[in-house]
Chain A
């Protein structure tokens, strides 16, 4: 079954870091770029970053550069999103999403994980 399975919800204190995982299955892991998108409570979708699982190449939205790191482990077909210096505004559901086009980064997100709720609270 083609799917992205994300790790469970997290509760963190301000200033802490969180690492969310996204495990791909049912397709060739290295063939499709993966993106991260977040959604704060009651708010819209916000694009954060992408990774090329084949090369490990990444890029990030300007507002997250320096604070978010996307990595992958090809041996287990998993993508990781590491977000540091958490603030209350980082409370959101974080989604991983696969790019539709094999081998390309076209920004059409055809397969989504169920999302991981990260709550930042003192």
Chain B
């Protein structure tokens, strides 16, 4: 069981917005930067958000991140069918180690 808690699943209709939370503690999410990854079935994860709210080159601005206290959030606006995937948060866990959240399955209805 991960130290970072994500909802198992979220869903939304095309065009809508969804938010995925990632809750930890002051020892991880609350104290350090967070990144997010998108993973389609059978594929390697893709880097979509870093440093809480920055997007790597090529990632649409429909993806945005934020953090408040010990909870980080990923918001996807203007949902597309291709956004259906698993999403993972990650952060520093102390003692030179890192941790991923348990993952959230996004279903586009």
Which residues of A approach B to under 8 Å, CB–CB?
A: 35, 37, 44-47, 50, 59-62, 95, 97, 100, 105-115
Contacts and interface: CB of A to CB of B under 8 A. Distances in A.
Nearest to B104: A44
Given A107-B90, A110-B56, A61 B97 contact: yes
A47 B98 contact: yes
Contacts, number: 66
**Which 7 A-B residue pairings sit nearest by Cβ, starting from the closest?**
A44-B103, A112-B44, A108-B50, A45-B100, A59-B96, A107-B98, A108-B35
Interface residues of B, number: 27
Contacts of A106: 33
19 contacts: A45-B90, A46-B100, A47-B90, A47-B93, A47-B99, A50-B98, A95-B44, A100-B47, A107-B91, A107-B92, A107-B98, A108-B47, A109-B90, A110-B50, A110-B56, A112-B44, A112-B45, A113-B44, A115-B44
Interface in B11-66: 33, 35, 37, 39, 44-47, 50-51, 56
Interface of B: 2, 33, 35, 37, 39, 44-47, 50-51, 56, 86, 88, 90-93, 95-103
